[in-house]
Chains A and B, each alone.
Chain A
Amino acid sequence: MTAAGNPDLAIELRGISKAFGPVQANKDISIQVRRGTIHGIIGENGAGKSTLMSILYGFYKADAGEVLIGGKPTPIPDSQAAIDAGIGMVFQHFKLVENFTVLENVILGAEDGALLKPSLAKARKLLKKLADDYEMDVDPDAIIEDLGVGQQQRVEILKALYREADILILDEPTGVLTPAEADHLFRILEGLRAEGKTIILITHKLREIMDITDTVSVMRRGEMTATVKTADTSPEELAELMVGRKVLLRVDKVPATPGKVILEVENLRVVDDQKVERLRGIDLTIRAGEVLGIAGVSGNGQSELLEVLGGYARGTGTIRMNGQEIDLTGTASDARTRRDRGIAHVPEDRQREGLIMDYRAWENVGFGYHHDDRFNSGMFMDNAAMRRDCVEKMERFDVRPPDPTLAAKNFSGGNQQKVVLAREIERNPDLLLIGQPTRGVDIGAIEFIHEQIIALRDQGKAILLVSVELDEIMALSDRIAVMFDGCIMGERLPSETDANELGLMMAGMTGKGAAA
């Protein structure tokens, strides 16, 4: 049955299927990637993209189907076989040894012999050549942990090229990059394409697909729903293919009507355990009925800001909620007292903070509010009341499946987020802190969550939105503040700015705040 493939195709997959228990992660997937092209694979979380790539890289064994590399059927039982076949993989979470130098990381596992010196010399020469060819300059002797994420990613690419990869797979490569760094990455990828390398780009960002790919394959629920030329398609069409129905990519909203000041933050500072100052004098004001968006590359103090406001990190400075100062240092300064003051919080990492993944859905709807009278009766917790509450919320927020006894970990990202959102909105807070509201959330649910945020704003609530997705910030915010290195670089109105200016501010370059 194995027909010889077309040698013009760098990779051809034929009828790949993979099941995990009853879960069909990949169903009969066939795909053809031409040599010297950039091929995008797009799909929602859980669509099976990563499973497919893991099969290609030898992490999983497919139940059925075959892989052809350069027209030849090539079994890939492990990642060494994938490397031998010329496949290089750049993971979303880098696999670098933090306290090794760039050179040491590049040769790791590909040393030529027992002695390191010849390998290192060879790698140094190659690195220099690659730096000249693709403007991929990284200091070969720098220690990884001293490098920024963009540079670390370049090291991952260099690692793959050192192993003579012809096919480069990048899994969500721009998640941690500033817009400028992402542009740089794309220039590198275009250079590699010009050299005849084949690149597979896995992403959930439609804009990247449109910007850089030649062809794009859409996955939905484990199936490949379409493969099209990028030039012949549009973001709207791709979104529809991903979700299976028409999707509104814009958020419909009326102009905000800000009311009284809800939250005032003055000179807020946070020093972490390593004595590094993570927030360096933040000033903010949020009024009722407006969304203040905090843009920025992750790791520039946004998390600390949310944690301090949410009551579980210590800081100095002044925070006034409805005109009354909040104690930032006392023993009563915890998340529970913040909730009592009318601050609700949808945390950035719902799986680590917002939910107990092993708790059932009904146990999670009381999480953080488990002191409320409605969930307690005498000495014991009123589990029946929590269950009733959960059923109600699941219906109102369209959580699927609407089964309160299912553990949180068994819901998809979007449905987990709906549970958190339902819980936090429920108590009618004055201020909602919301971090990365749609990270790891499927497009269909993104729409719903955005609608909820705007609806809450229109009810006259103050909303502090933190997101690394610039599109999301632009779509939802009434005002945008950009954070860089623990400072606010400046504030802009969405109508008066664009992604370029914000991108520069996110990189710490300009902005009125920095100039002053």
Chain B
Amino acid sequence: MNDALPKWADILLIPFINLVLALVVSGFVVALIGKDPFEALYILVNGSVGSAYGWGYTLFYATNFIFTGLGVAVAFHARMFNIGGEGQAALGGLGVALVLLWVPWPHWTVALVAASLGAAVFGAAWAAIPAYLQARRGSHIVITTIMFNFIASALMVYLLSRVLLVPGAGGSPETARFAEAVRLPNAYDVLPWMGFSRSTPLNISFFLALASCVFVWALIWRTRLGYEIRAFGHSEPAALYAGISPFRITMTAMLISGALIGLMATNSVMGEAERLVIDPVQGAGFVGIAVALMGRSHPVGVFLAALLFGALYQGGGELTFEMNGMTREIILVIQALVILFTGALDNMVRAPIERIFLTAGRRPQPTLPTSPLPSDGDPKDSKVEP
């Protein structure tokens, strides 16, 4: 945590400024291809949050991103970069499909519980191998998780085209539709008066995502395991000194991370597609990294960042429909700019803002009773003298 900034500035103000900068640069890009940036912005915003239809998709995407973002965030707390979200979420989808296809569930409630378990176990299992290789063999988790994305992708193609393929289906590699009894209620079923359409993808697993936010918050900041995960993430030598096993923390943090990411399948596979198709993840595993970065690995931040990226996804889709010449690539550029500004260029905005707060904070009494002095080791690091 940074002490130079109040918490609200750290969590809200800086991401907001980053976002505005990203949109300004995006505006230039749009203008460069000869389109009206203000019209584009209007379509982007209106298409994502201007109607119940838009909200249905925005929140649906956001649900995916909450799961993947939380998963990446948990790994971040243990200072591990889990970029295997694509693979873990795909395997989560496999877990959901197997659970729902093999057992004739009487009702969607029990089915959701079982499918969640299947998704979490499969997602965790896919994260377990890279985690073990990291913890025991020192193989870098970034390398192994990304390789496991490719393995997952190949595995899914094999299974869907050879093993789980519905006999007689028209050649597209996908499983059979799940039974009608396990169909999750969508926003139209739950909130019919809100104007969602009958086919809106937003479904009950949105609440599972919210519950996961609470779960992650309690885990990280209220349990002993979270205390150990954070300690390990800050300093491995200190963790050893305190008797915290690096192996145990690496494994546990990655299993929880993979499980959360796997849970995404309850939304995309069970809630929306209602069958397992090729690539059920659609990049949400990678977006989760941006979401976790932007959300500062805090569940509230992850939730807000997921909303933003949900809106970008949905609004971007609308933009390609509504504006001639706005290709998917341009939408990708805009999304990339948002990731660039909120994730990678964070310090560019942070440093000046900190300076503003420091000078503004000097006039009122500093929070500390004595004037702090820098240490000899690093004069920038302020210490408090007795």
Q: Flag the segment in B143-151, B280-288, B363-371 that touches A.
A: B363-371
CB distance A23 to B241 under 8 Å? no
Among residues of A, the one whose C-beta sits closest to the C-beta of B222 is A380
Give the residues in chain B near A358, CB-CB below 8 Å. 1, 234
Map CB proximity to B onto A9-32 as digits: 1 under 8 Å, 0 otherwise. Answer: 000000000001111110000000
The answer, yes or no, to whether A410 is at the interface (CB within 8 Å) is yes
Q: Which of A369-408 contact B (CB under 8 A)?
A: 370-371, 376, 379-381, 383, 398, 400-401, 403, 406-407
Which of B230, B238, B244, B376 has the most chain A CB within a 10 Å cutoff? B376
Whether the pair B380, A20 counts as a contact (CB closer than 8 A) is: yes
Which residues in chain A, 336-377, are within 8 Å of chain B measured between CB atoms?
Answer: 336-339, 345, 347, 349, 352-359, 363, 366-368, 370-371, 376
User: How many Å lie between the Cα of A338 and that of B13 in the bound state?
Assistant: 46
B216 adjacent to chain A (CB < 8 Å):
no
Residues of B within 8 A of A415 (CB): 384, 386
Q: Do B245 and A334 touch across chains, with their CB atoms under 8 A apart? A: yes
CA distance A454 to B240 in the complex (A): 28
Q: Which residues of B contact A461 (CB under 8 A)?
A: none
For residue B238, which residue of chain A has the nearest CB? A353
What is the number of residues of chain B that contact chain A, defined by CB distance less than 8 Å?
43
**Which of A40-48, A262-270, A479-487 lies at the binding interface?**
A40-48
Q: Given that A46-B373, A400-B386, A412-B375 are known contacts, is A370 also in contact with B223, CB under 8 Å in the complex?
A: no
Selected contact of B224 from candidates A60, A335, A371, A442, CB within 8 Å:
A371
Q: How far is the CB of B321 from chain A (nearest CB, A)?
A: 46
Chain A proximity of B235: nearest CB distance (Å): 6
* Interchain CB contact (< 8 A) of A354 among B238, B243, B245, B358: B238
Q: Given that A21-B382, A60-B379 are known contacts, is A407 also in contact with B1, CB under 8 Å in the complex? A: yes
Choose one: A22, A380, A407; the contact of B366 (CB below 8 Å).
A22
Residue of B nearest to A337 (CB): B243
Contacts of B243 in A (CB 8 A): 311-312, 334-339, 368
Q: Is the CB of A440 within 8 A of B377?
A: yes
Taking a contact as CB atoms under 8 Å apart, the answer to whether A54 and B386 are in contact is no
Nearest residue (CB) in B for A24 is B371
Cβ-based interface call for B218 (8 A)? yes
Tell me the nearest residue of chain B to A243, going by C-beta.
B386
Question: Is B362 on the interface with A (CB-CB < 8 A)?
Answer: yes
Other-chain residue from B231, B245, B383, B386 in contact with A356 (beta carbon distance below 8 A) = B231
User: Which residue in chain B gives the minimum CB-CB distance to A18?
Assistant: B379
A409 touches B (CB below 8 Å): yes
Min C-beta distance of B240 to chain A, whole Å: 4
B373 touches A379 (CB 8 A): no
Q: Give every chain B residue within 8 A of A401 (Cβ-Cβ).
A: 368-370, 384
Q: Is the CB of B3 within 8 A of A407?
A: yes
Question: Do A335 and B374 touch across chains, with their CB atoms under 8 A apart?
Answer: no
Cβ 8 A contact of B376, one of A22, A45, A310, A379:
A45
Q: Which residue of A lies closest to B373 (CB)?
A: A46
Q: In residues 296-343 of chain A, which contact B (Cβ within 8 Å)?
A: 310-312, 334-339
Q: Which of B218, B235, B374 contacts A357 (CB 8 A)?
A: B235
Q: Are A353 and B235 in contact (CB under 8 A)?
A: yes
A23 and B234 form a contact (CB under 8 A)? no
Q: Tell me whether A437 is interfacial, beta carbon within 8 Å.
A: no
A51 within 8 A of B: yes
| Residue A411 is within 8 A (CB to CB) of chain B in the complex | yes
Say if the beta carbon of B228 comes within 8 Å of chain A.
Answer: yes
Of the candidates A312, A409, A412, A440, which one forms a contact with B386 in the assembled complex, judged by CB atoms under 8 Å apart? A412
Q: Is A289 an interface residue (CB 8 A)?
A: no
Within residues 199 to 231 of chain B, which ones have a CB less than 8 A from any CB in chain A?
Answer: 218, 222-224, 227-228, 230-231
In chain B, what residue has the closest Cβ to A54? B379
Partner of A48, one of B234, B373, B377, B386: B373
Q: Is B242 an interface residue (CB 8 A)?
A: yes
Q: How far is the CB of A78 from chain B (nearest CB, A)?
A: 17
**Interface pair B241/A310, CB less than 8 Å apart:** yes
In the complex, whether A278 has a CB less than 8 A from a CB of chain B is no
Is B371 a contact partner of A22 (Cβ separation < 8 A)? Answer: yes
Report A481 CB to chain B, min CB distance, Å.
23
Binary contact track A184-218/B, C-beta < 8 Å → 1, others 0:
00000000000000000000000000000000000
Write the residues of chain B forming the contact surface with A, with a CB cutoff of 8 angstroms: 1, 3-4, 218, 222-224, 227-228, 230-231, 234-235, 237-238, 240-245, 358, 361-362, 366, 368-377, 379-386
Binding site for B on A (CB under 8 A): 20-25, 45-51, 54, 60, 221-222, 310-312, 334-339, 345, 347, 349, 352-359, 363, 366-368, 370-371, 376, 379-381, 383, 398, 400-401, 403, 406-407, 409-415, 440, 442, 444-445
Task: Enumerate the 3 nearest inter-chain pairs by beta-carbon distance, A residue then B residue, closest first.
Answer: A336-B243, A335-B243, A368-B242
25 CB contacts below 8 A, A to B, read A21-B4, A22-B382, A46-B385, A50-B376, A310-B241, A334-B240, A335-B241, A335-B243, A345-B241, A347-B241, A352-B235, A353-B240, A354-B241, A356-B230, A358-B234, A368-B243, A398-B386, A400-B370, A400-B385, A406-B384, A410-B382, A410-B383, A412-B383, A412-B386, A442-B386
